[in-house]
Amino acid sequence: MPISYKLAFDIGHSSIGWAVLTSDGKLGTNPEILGCGSVIFPKDDCLASQRRDHRRTRRNIRSTRQRISRMRKLLLHLEVLSEVELDAVGHSAPHYLAAQALFSESPTLDWTKLWHVLRWYAHNRGYDGNSRWSRQDDDSDDTVKEKAALDLMSKHGIDTKTGSMAETICAELGINPLDKKISSAKPYKTLNAAFPRAIVRSEVLRILMKHLGHLPKLDQNFIDTLIAPNSGNDKQAWATIPVPSIKLPRRYFGGLLFGQLIPRFDNRIIASCPISGQKVPNKASRDYLEFRWAMLLANIRVNGTSLSAEQRRAIDAIMRKSGRLTPTELRKAVEDISGSKDNNIAASFEIHPDSKDALELDPALAYADSAATNKRNSLYPFWQHLPR
């Protein structure tokens, strides 16, 4: 029978993985990998990368509009401003209003000015490095902008812990928040700076706290509805003041100004199991780890066939003893138990750098085993003295 060749591609937004395989066509035999690799595209040479940037811009614009719309509904629900006042043209220098509110000893904002300030912060709420979902180090332009913002604060002698975005912008534009002059010939949008979100959130909190009790209906509930943190019991902070016209999904964490939707990979895309009808377990739960390990065992092939039930039980016992296996340890176990070196372990777990992460069944037991045997583990010197 003639040998057939197959090409396999893994197409990503900035790279293409490829492999050339051959098979003799016999049923039950594994293909042979003749070669594999990847082609990495430069950042600015990939059309998919450009489309991703455009899509990101559209989503940012849409999110900002939605954020402002929700805050508008909140103020309308509280009846502190009318629709005409809410739809009026904003202040020409909201950064000046914000900085003035921060520097003044007494409250300086009424509800109209505070609305202009909040609307400005909705457009400029700071950069958090996608902290709720980022899986890798971020080397994007945003980190460059964040560094530029911190450099601006240092340039004007502003403390990064107690300073603010508003006063930094005013300092760069040559505006004194306590004077009446609000115009400047410098456009601050050309500064290419993105301030850390922690700094921005802190200054918004200071502005709101300074006007606590000064403006009617500006109380702690209002502050929590806007800027409660994205953690713990505050994940429904946006609903602290119930507004009938505001409905957000359960995966929205935090307040109306600084909250955000958590990507679906944090709570599983499929809501219910198609077999049992019950809710699919979280990816970090024991049920999911058990399921993943069972599927990995079922996909192991030796001499082109699946492992027997007895062989799977033997390998499962090795895994449960340590809680985690390396690809090499799994391959050695399969070879020892099956008596054959013709298996698909290398192709399944040693080609892709992240595939080995799936070989973990019990994270706690795996860490304990590492602490007891791995001298590079920080707990190794102490683990030997702990009671068993």
One-character DSSP codes across 315-375: HHHHHHHHSB--HHHHHHHHHHHHS---BSHIIIIISSTTGGGG-BS-HHHHHHHHHHH-T
pLDDT band for 271, please (50, 70, 90 cuts).
low
Q: What is the pLDDT of the chain when averaged over all its residues?
A: 83
What pLDDT score does 234 carry?
Answer: 46
Using CA atoms, how far apart are residues 388 and 370, in angstroms rounded to an integer? 15
For residue range 89-104, list pLDDT tens digits in order. Answer: 999 999 999 999 999 9
Q: Is 213 helix (H, G, I), strand (E, B) or coil?
A: coil
81 contacts 218 by C-beta, under 8 angstroms: no
Contact indicator for 44, 80 with CB cutoff of 8 Å = no
Q: What percentage of the chain exceeds 90 in pLDDT?
A: 40
Considering only CA atoms, give the Rg of the chain: 29
Is this structure's pTM higher than 0.85? Answer: no
Give the residue, 382 or 82, on which the prediction is more confident: 82
Q: Which range, of 12-16, 124-128, 134-138, 345-349, averages the lowest pLDDT?
A: 134-138
